[in-house]
Amino acid sequence: MSIIIPANTLASGGYEVDNSLRFNDGSSDKLSRSSGTPSSRQKFTWSQWVKRSADTDYQVIQGCYSDTSNYLLVSFNSDRIDVIDFESGVNARKITTAKFVDFSAFYHIVVAVDTTQATANNRVKIYVNGVLQTAFDTNTAPSKDQNLSTNESTYEIGSGEAGNYYFDGYLAECIYCDGQSLAADSFGEFDDTGIWKPIKVSGLTFGDEGFYLEFKQVGTSANASGIGADTSGNTHHFTVANLTAVDQSTDTCTNNFATMNPLDNFYAGGTFAEGNLQVTTRNAGYSYNTATFGVATGKWYWEVKWSAQNTGSSNQVVIGIAKRNVVSTTVWLGSVAWTFAYEGSSGHVKVSDGNATNSTSTTYSVGDIISVAMDLDNNKIHFAKNGTYTNSSNAAGNSGGVTITAADSTSGDSGFYFPAFGDGNNNLVQTGQFNFGSPPYAISSSNADGDGFGNFEYAVPSGYFALCTKNLAEYG
């Protein structure tokens, strides 16, 4: 299972990436522009930071095409990186042997092309996190001096081949350098701990058709104020399709935020969307899903919007935390050891055995936002409905709340608490949207934690922090 825990994450330093763009394949999100004449069809470089959200068989990150018989694409293909040039037949193709199945963090992918190279294997190079890939399941090199398909009529980010094979996840620092074949160290570097990090690329030249997408703007027009604004100086701004301001995210390669975890879904069988910030439970059995970040110390805050339920569900939704993965289709959050959940129908917090612990009932309904303040220094959890804490809880003042088991490891217990969501009975379908600091839905206010991280609907209690890697490095 893919998770982030404090021991695996360090504070980033140096250059900071402020924004990514969240793509949802279910809504056919993409950016596109009409291509012009490239500086070179023999030398070029793509660079992008990528956080995956789904393992669909084939998903295009970026590329260019004129139709389904002429295209040049960088994609994920059954979890492998696939670079293909196709003009009524395969001219070049490399598919890595390595699979990239971590859905909790960003990968840096660089594709450097130079068909003038004498050695065939040097004509298309793929780097991942600064490391040149040398093992391939498919390794078809282009002919020496071959012109590749950089002159096709349409360039797209997040899809390819006439708008097919949509990407699902987060993209940051999308760069195309036309006329240059650059190694990964033009875009990143290893720090003293061996972690690969982005560097400032203001010294790069981009060529006639090159671009640099930083996703700093939120407009929907193809101009300098748009989501697809090109900041390379070439003004190759992209047209926006099905992306809005809410898809601009602060979840980036220099401050990675929690999401829900699609790899912890064997029993739950939930459906994930919106960059794994939305989970819909299945219409059979009952179970729960957990997030990618687990913590054992510190004070943490997030919000969950209960956005939908099927007819007759009777508010059988549960929002809370778990220290273990679900092991059955017949248990619900709050009914088994090391799980604690605020239940919509009863308004009570259920603790480990399904029993209620709080005396006052505060039910909630579709559309309500539940705040979760988890205090692992004092082993308590506090819940709020639309900004008002239940049972007179005072998270900042360490009063009220529900006592939880300490986050130490015991038999069958991970030793870390994870945010969790589920339903409480058979034939129920519940949808929850998680805001760990970069919400997948529009909010009416903007509240950050004490270190300035996160964008929440309600005020973050003093001393509590968003679940992101910068905070984990300091408080986790």
Quick one: pLDDT band at residue 2, thresholds 50, 70, 90? very low
Q: Which of 192, 218, 249 is the last residue of a domain?
A: 249
Is beta strand 349-351 parallel, antiparallel or unpaired with respect to 339-343? antiparallel
What is the pLDDT at residue 5? 45
Contacts of 21 (CB under 8 A, 6+ apart): 31, 170, 171, 172, 213, 215, 227, 243, 247, 248, 249
Judge whether 261 lies within some domain: no
**Mean per-residue pLDDT for 29-44?**
95
Question: Sign of torsion, CA 375 378 383 387?
Answer: negative
Do 241 and 321 sit in the same domain of this protein?
Answer: no
**pLDDT(369) > 80:** yes
What is the pLDDT at residue 411? 61
Judge whether 10 lies within some domain: no
Instruction: Encode pLDDT of 224-278 as tens digits.
Output: 999 999 999 999 999 999 999 999 999 999 999 999 999 999 999 999 999 999 9
Judge whether 257 lies within some domain: no
Q: Structure pTM?
A: 0.95
Do 301 and 245 sit in the same domain of this protein?
Answer: no
* pLDDT above 90 as % of the chain: 76
Q: What are phi and psi of 404, to 5 degrees?
A: -120, 160
Do 92 and 237 sit in the same domain of this protein?
Answer: yes
What is the pLDDT at residue 162? 67
Judge whether 35 lies within some domain: yes
Quick one: pLDDT band at residue 7, thresholds 50, 70, 90? very low
- Closest-CA residue to 277 (of 429, 431, 440): 440
Instruction: Encode pLDDT of 422-446 as tens digits.
Output: 987 777 889 999 999 999 999 999 9
What is the pLDDT at residue 353? 66
Is residue 138 a contact partner of residue 43, using CB atoms and an 8 Å limit? no
**pLDDT(113) > 60:** yes
Do 198 and 288 sit in the same domain of this protein?
Answer: no
CA distance 39 to 274: 36
**pLDDT(9) > 50:** no
Range of the structural domain that residue 359 is part of? 271-475
Do 465 and 412 sit in the same domain of this protein?
Answer: yes
Judge whether 109 lies within some domain: yes
Do 360 and 436 sit in the same domain of this protein?
Answer: yes
Is residue 405 a contact partner of residue 415, using CB atoms and an 8 Å limit? no
What is the pLDDT at residue 425? 75
Task: Please give the tally of structural domains in the chain.
Answer: 2
Quick one: pLDDT band at residue 166, thresholds 50, 70, 90? very high
CA distance 95 to 126: 10
Quick one: pLDDT band at residue 74, thresholds 50, 70, 90? very high
163 or 297, greater pLDDT: 297
Is residue 260 a contact partner of residue 268, using CB atoms and an 8 Å limit? no
Is residue 320 a contact partner of residue 420, using CB atoms and an 8 Å limit? yes
Judge whether 5 lies within some domain: no
What is the pLDDT at residue 359? 60
Q: What share of the chain is helix, strand, coil (3-state, %, to 5)?
A: 5, 40, 55
Quick one: pLDDT band at residue 11, thresholds 50, 70, 90? very low
Do 237 and 282 sit in the same domain of this protein?
Answer: no
Do 220 and 326 sit in the same domain of this protein?
Answer: no
Do 237 and 354 sit in the same domain of this protein?
Answer: no
Quick one: pLDDT band at residue 406, thresholds 50, 70, 90? confident
Do 155 and 107 sit in the same domain of this protein?
Answer: yes
Do 216 and 358 sit in the same domain of this protein?
Answer: no
Do 346 and 230 sit in the same domain of this protein?
Answer: no
The enclosing domain of 440 has a CATH number of 2.60.120.920
393 or 460, greater pLDDT: 460
Judge whether 260 lies within some domain: no
